Amino acid sequence: MNIDASSLIAGLFVSSIGFVLFSYGKKMSRPPQMIGGLVLMVYPYVVQDVLWMLLVGAVLCGLIWFAVQRGY
C-alpha cells in the first residue's frame, strides 16, 4: 500500500468532486450524478497510483457528462 502525500491529495480531490456530484444528484433526484458521485468517492481507495487515479476520475467525469447530455 502506497501512502504518500500526492496520493492522499489526489484522492481527496477526486473524492471531493464525487461528494459534490452525489449531493447534487441526491438533491435533484438525478441517478447519473448520484451513481457517478458514489463511484468517484469510493474508487480512490482501490487505485493507489496518482496518475491512474486522475485519469480514471477524468474518464468517469466525462462519462457522467456524456450521460447527462444524452438525457439520462
The predicted pLDDT at position 57 comes to 94
> Residue 2 — pLDDT band, cuts 50, 70, 90?
low
Q: What is the pLDDT of residues 23-60, one digit of tens each?
A: 999 999 999 999 999 999 999 999 888 999 999 999 99
Report yes or no: 41 and 19 within 8 Å, Cβ to Cβ: yes
Tens of pLDDT, residues 14-23: 999 999 999 9
State residue 1's pLDDT score.
Answer: 61
- Burial of residue 35 (CB within 10 Å: 0-12, 13-18, 19+) is middle
pLDDT on residue 43 = 92
Q: What's the pLDDT at 72?
A: 80
* Domain ranges (residues) in the chain: 5-69
Closest alpha carbon to 10 in 61, 60, 39, 44? 44
Cell numbers given for 19:
461528494
Residue 40 C-alpha cell reads as 468517484
